[in-house]
Amino acid sequence: MTVVKPPGRYRNLALGLLAAGVMAVAGTAAPASATATATDSAAASDSVQASTLGAQAAQSGRYFGTAVAGGRLGDGTYSTILNREFNMVTPENEMKWDTTERSRGSFNFGPADQIVNQATSRGQRVRGHTLVWHSQLPSWVSSIGDANTLRSVMNNHINGVMGHYKGKVYAWDVVNEAFADGGSGAHRPSVFQNLLGDGFIEEAFRTARAADASAKLCYNDYNIENWTDAKTQGVYRMVRDFKARGVPIDCVGFQAHFGTGGPPASFQTTLSNFAALGVDVQITELDIAQAPATAYANTVKACMNVARCNGITVWGIRDTDSWRAGENPLLFDGGGNKKPAYNSALTALGGTPAVKAAANTVTKAAAKTPAKSPASPASSAAALPGSYGWSSSGVLMSPKPDSTHNIAGLKDPTVVYYNGKYHVFASVASSSGYSLVYLNFTDWSQAASATHYYLDRSAIGTGYRAAPQVFYFAPQRTWYLVYQTGNASYSTNTDISNPNGWSAPRNFYSSMPDIIKQNIGNGYWVDMWVICDSANCYLFSSDDNGHLYRSQTTLAQFPNGFTNTVIAAQDSNKYALFEASNVYKVQDSNQYLLIVEAIGSDGRRYFRSWTSSSIGGSWTPLAASENNPFARASNTTFPSGAWTRDISHGELIRAGYDQTLTINPCKMQYLYQGMNPNAGGDYNTLPWRLGLLTQTNSTC
Ligand code: 9MR
């Protein structure tokens, strides 16, 4: 093969020495140390003892939000608590129809923009509240007398408001409080119901989906927390019907305006019954008369015990901010002091009240204690645990040099299970450079005997091609192989099992994005990774200089249009956030998992992990330190012999094979590269081999 010697990390002598375990270099190069990692960008990464509601909720992939009144943002006590405690914000009144479209066709977004802009700039997400509601509705709407006019007015309102906030709102309360109180289980009378009939809710959701496909669409109501109530049952029947008929609905909001007794005993049952329909459930407007600590704890626990209950919002910050101020129903008193209910809510979220342990006082000893599993019982089984154990296979795949391919290392595997076979693509490395290889087999026991097909014989051609990622892009019914060539490149194929079917390389970018040029320093642009949600595709890459980048395009434009390149994560210690990042969707949850390869204080490769409820972040440490790593030799057993001390570049085995990169969080498996710890010399000739980790501490 004709190989152009690759630029980049593959000629990085220092890294070669590090990989070979030359500790003098590792020491002077100051790789990640346990304390640096725990106190750095991954602050409190080892601890479940977060000191704020938002940080604690994030430990289990949830959010903790509050209603915000724009008029109070100038109040220092208010905004201090807001920005310290909460990572989701609901404008209390500013997105309602009587503010956003007071007269027909004339939209006013000023008040809500103020809240949204402040929240976004602080990394808080936004719940949109609300689009179609009988209350706080201008009289020009409630006095409309014919169905066609109202239909067009309703759809125009949804399009106008959602269009303005497109991409900026996590979830919309599309329709609010449409069901009647009492025993009927029917819709309540309203101008929408009276003129458009039962179908107005469905129409609103369909319009909303088309207006912003990136927002979750919720139905929101009060007095639907008690399972046997007629109103609860009415809403349940509607959601079941919507799911059965494909009407777009993603979540149900339970307002949870409770009396002193707190939630009904059946609240958790209600949440899990709705979740079982295939929607997220959220507590959207929580307040409890007199705020008894136990009542708050019971409410939070009900959510924590349901995997798809992915967030809690309280309806205001201080008692004096509440619409029920006379009942002192919130977590902070009028002076902004934490009430007993605050500590009980924080504890129920899985942490310890700040009085006992604050994140900023995490000690070295505390940082060495592995985190306990964040959420609790069996019903949360789908959530990822906060610490990991693995068992490794022996070497499963080794290079198979032939007369024209002199190979030293088999590296960087990507894998899908499709049509009864594992399909593995990997880099092959030698002193002359890098190219790609493909093999398939039905079972791991067959991996060693699989034929290696060198992809430089396809239209992919010769030259620097490395670090592949394969997935099926369902919208185009096409397989994509993403890899690095100095640029981020891809080839396509309609048949994954045909190694000759791959197209010639094409680039995702015309050239390296400016933000990468500005931050890459002496690093190298490597390890491109694509993942898509229902609206967008994202292209991640690393620079071996402490930065993880993310670009974005729409699902419709993919593979073109990757712009908006941003720094998705960074660490001042480049070895702590090095390369080989993977992002996955966690099945049946709202979580995404990010893992990034780091170089430890022993000079060996290992993985750190974070979670987020969206691909765009922000990323919360999961198992993210040397002492509590995602995958490292130190949390791996080697029943057939410790053949490697590096757990390096690879991929989790996915639940499917499409562009969503979905993983099943139960008994995870990770295909990785490792090598003989005694090997050394030129980085390109290191003897990398492939092995498989299987999770040993799975709770499901
Ligand atoms: O908290 C809101 C209050 O400031 C408004 O005056 C009131 C007007 O109806 O709406 C309150 O918020 C409501 C929310 O939008 C929907 N669920 C019930 C909430 C409490 O009334």
By percentage, how much of the chain surpasses pLDDT 90? 80
651 catalytic per annotation: no
Residue 543 is encoded by which pair of tokens? 């620079």
CA distance 158 to 132: 8
Residue nearest to atom 16 of ligand 1 (CA): 176
Distance 92 CA to ligand 1 centre (A): 7
* Pick from 471, 466, 486: nearest CA to 688: 466
pLDDT in tens, 309-353: 999 999 999 999 999 999 999 999 999 999 999 999 999 998 555
pLDDT of residue 353: 52
Distance between CA 622 and CA 604 in Å, rounded?
20
Question: CA-CA distance, 468 to 424, in Å (whole number)?
Answer: 10
Q: How confident is the model at residue 699 (pLDDT cuts 50, 70, 90)?
A: confident
R_g of the chain computed on alpha carbons: 27
**137: its two tokens:** 């509705």
- Beta carbon of 92 within 6 Å of any ligand 1 atom: yes
Structure tokens at 611: 């979670």
Q: How many angstroms separate the CA atoms of 300 and 345, rounded?
A: 6
> Using CA positions, which residue lies closest to atom 8 of ligand 1?
136
Our mutation pick for probing the ligand 1 site, out of 68, 93, 231, counting the most ligand atoms within 8 A of Cβ, is: 93
In the reported structure, the alpha carbon of residue 96 is separated from the centroid of ligand 1 by a whole-number distance in angstroms of 10
Give the pLDDT score at 190. 97
Which of the four pLDDT bands, split at 50, 70 and 90, describes residue 50?
low
Question: pLDDT (tens digit, 9 = 90+) per residue, 604-623?
Answer: 999 999 999 999 988 999 99
Assign 507 a pLDDT band (cuts: 50, 70, 90). very high
- Closest of 598, 634, 521 to residue 32, by C-alpha: 598
Integer Cα distance of 574 and 378 in angstroms: 38
Q: For residues 43 and 488, which has the higher predicted lDDT (pLDDT)?
A: 488
Ligand 1 centre distance from Cα of residue 300 (Å): 22
To the nearest 10°, report the CA torsion of 79, 85, 89, 93: -50
Per the residue annotation, which of 85, 94, 225, 285 is the catalytic one?
A: 285
How far apart are the C-alpha atoms of 613 and 620, rounded to whole Å?
10
- Which pLDDT value is given to residue 278? 92
Give per-residue pLDDT as tens, 216-242: 999 999 999 999 999 999 999 999 999
Which pLDDT tens digit goes with each residue over 428-441?
A: 999 889 999 999 99
Single out the residue of 522, 456, 490 nearest to residue 4, CA to CA. 456
Complete DSSP assignment for 427-443: EEEETTEEEEEEEEESS
Whether the ω angle into residue 344 lies within 30 degrees of 0, i.e. cis, is: no
For the CA of 315, the closest atom of ligand 1 is: 1
Helix, coil or strand: residue 117: helix
Q: How confident is residue 700, by pLDDT bands cut at 50, 70 and 90? A: confident
**Burial of residue 517, with CB atoms counted within 10 A of its CB: 0-12 exposed, 13-18 middle, 19 or more buried:** exposed
CA 525/CA 540 separation, integer angstroms: 11
Which residue intervals of 490-573 are DSSP H helices?
514-519
Strands 506-507 and 309-314: what pairing? unpaired
* pLDDT single digits (tens) 281-307: 999 999 999 999 999 999 999 999 998
* 90-110: average pLDDT: 98
Ligand 1 atom nearest residue 316's Cα: 1
Q: Are 390 and 696 in contact (CB under 8 A)?
A: yes
pTM exceeds 0.75: no
Supply 314's token pair: 């309280």
pLDDT in the model for residue 28: 26
Q: Is the peptide bond before 207 cis (omega within 30 degrees of 0)?
A: no
Q: Which range is least confidently modeled, 68-72, 129-133, 384-388, 692-696?
A: 384-388
pLDDT, tens digit, for every residue of 349-375?
985 553 322 222 222 223 323 333 333
Q: Which residue has the higher pLDDT, 273 or 32?
A: 273
| pLDDT tens digit sequence for 461-504 | 999 999 999 999 999 999 999 999 999 999 999 999 999 999 99
CA distance 443 to 448: 10
- Taking only the tens place, the pLDDT of each residue in 124-133 is 999 999 999 9
Q: Binning pLDDT at 50, 70 and 90, where does residue 88 land?
A: very high
Is the distance from the beta carbon of residue 325 to the nearest atom of ligand 1 less than 6 Å? no
Mean pLDDT of 417-436: 94
For ligand 1, whether the C-beta of 71 sits within 6 Å is no
The pairs formed by 193-198 with CB atoms below 8 angstroms and a separation of 24 or more are 195/144, 195/145, 195/146, 195/147, 195/150, 196/147, 196/150, 196/151, 196/154
What is the per-residue DSSP string for 374-395?
SS-SGGGTTSPPSS--EEE-S-
Q: Is the CB of 456 under 6 A from ligand 1?
A: no
Answer whether 322 contacts ligand 1 (Cβ < 6 A): no
CA of 329 to the centre of ligand 1 (A): 14
| Minimum-distance ligand 1 atom for the alpha carbon of 67 | 1
Give Cβ neighbours of residue 449 (< 8 Å, ≥ 6 apart).
441
Instruction: Answer whether 323 contacts ligand 1 (Cβ < 6 A).
Output: yes
Cα of 67 from ligand 1 centre, angstroms: 10
C-alpha distance from residue 429 to each of 231, 469, 481, 652 (Å): 64, 16, 18, 22
Q: What is the mean pLDDT of the chain?
A: 88
Tell me what pLDDT residue 330 has: 98
Q: What is the pLDDT of residue 547?
A: 96
Q: Determine if the peptide bond prior to 248 is cis (ω within 30°).
A: no
Distance 242 CA to ligand 1 centre (A): 27
